[in-house]
Chains A and B, each alone.
Chain A
Amino acid sequence: MTFGLTVGLSMFAVMLVLMALRIPIAAAMFIPGMLGYLVMSDGLNLMNLLKGSAVARLTVYDLSVIPLFLLMGQFATQGGLSRELFRAAAAFVGHIRGGLAMASILSAGAFGAVCGSSVATSATITQVAYPQMRGHGYHGRLSTATLAAGGTLGILIPPSVPLVVYAILTEQNIAKLFAAAMIPGILAMLSYIVVIGVMARINPSLATRQDRASWAMRLGSLAGIWPVLTIFLIVFGGIYGGVFSPTEGAAIGALSTFVAGVAKRELTREKLRSALAGTAETSAMVFMIFLGADMMNTTLALTQMPGQVASWMTTLDIPAVAIVLAILLFYVLLGCVMDELSMLLLTIPVIFPAVMGLDLFGLSPDLKAIWFGILVLVTVGIGLIAPPIGLNVYVVNNLAPEVPIADTYRGVLPFLAADFIRMVLLLFFPAISLYLVLQMG
Chain B
Amino acid sequence: MKLLGRVALAFALLGGLVAFTVGLVTTASVIGRALFLRPIPGDVEITQLGIGLAISLCLPWCQFRCANIMVDFFTQRAPLAVTRRLDAVGMVMLAVMYSLLSWRTSIGALSVKDAFEATMILDLPMWWSYASLAPGLAFAAVIAVLQAYWLAIGRAADGSESAASDDFHGAAS
Which A residues fall within an 8 A CB radius of B?
Answer: 18-28, 30-31, 34, 47, 50-55, 58-61, 63-64, 67-68, 71, 117-120, 155, 161-162, 243-244, 247-248, 250-252, 254-255, 258, 273, 275-277, 279-289, 291-292, 337-342, 380, 384, 388-389, 391, 394-395, 398
Q: Given A51-B107, A54-B137, A281-B65, answer yes or no on A23-B59 (Cβ-Cβ < 8 Å).
A: no
Would you call A51 and B59 a contact (CB within 8 A)? no
Chain B interface secondary structure, helix, strand, loop or mixed? helix
- Closest chain A residue, CB of each to CB of B134: A54
Would you call B23 and A31 a contact (CB within 8 A)? no
If A279-B19, A283-B15, A283-B54 are given as contacts, then 12 extra A-B residue pairs at C-beta distance below 8 Å, sorted by A number, are A19-B71, A25-B70, A54-B133, A59-B129, A59-B133, A71-B16, A120-B171, A243-B30, A254-B23, A281-B12, A289-B172, A339-B69
Contact residues in B for A119 (Cβ distance below 8 Å): 171-173
Minimum distance in angstroms from A438 CB to a CB of chain B? 27
Contact residues in B for A52 (Cβ distance below 8 Å): 108
Would you call B130 and A55 a contact (CB within 8 A)? yes
Q: Given A68-B19, A285-B69, answer yes or no on A117-B171 (Cβ-Cβ < 8 Å).
A: yes
Would you call B13 and A55 a contact (CB within 8 A)? no
Q: Of A250, A277, A391, which is within 8 A of B172 by CB?
A: A391
Minimum distance in angstroms from A75 CB to a CB of chain B? 9
**Which residues of B, 56-70, contact A by the 8 Å Cβ criterion?**
56-59, 61-63, 65, 67-70
Would you call A31 and B93 a contact (CB within 8 A)? yes
Q: Of A63, A248, A283, which is within 8 A of B26 by CB?
A: A248
> How far apart are the CA atoms of A50 and B107 in the complex, in Å?
10
Contact residues in A for B49 (Cβ distance below 8 Å): 59
Number of B residues contacting the other chain (C-beta, 8 Å)?
A: 67
Contact residues in B for A380 (Cβ distance below 8 Å): 173
Would you call A339 and B22 a contact (CB within 8 A)? no
> How far apart are the CA atoms of A61 and B130 in the complex, in Å?
15
Residue contacts A-B, CB under 8 angstroms, 13 given: A24-B68, A25-B70, A50-B105, A53-B104, A67-B19, A161-B173, A258-B20, A276-B15, A279-B58, A284-B62, A285-B170, A337-B73, A342-B172
Would you call A281 and B67 a contact (CB within 8 A)? yes
Would you call B100 and A50 a contact (CB within 8 A)? yes
Q: Of B12, B26, B87, which is within 8 A of A251 by CB?
A: B26
B44 interface contact, C-beta 8 A: yes
- Closest chain B residue, CB of each to CB of A279: B16
Would you call A22 and B97 a contact (CB within 8 A)? no
Would you call A51 and B94 a contact (CB within 8 A)? no
Q: Of B48, B75, B133, which is within 8 A of A21 by CB?
A: B75
Would you call B107 and A280 a contact (CB within 8 A)? no
> How far apart are the CA atoms of A341 and B70 in the complex, in Å?
12
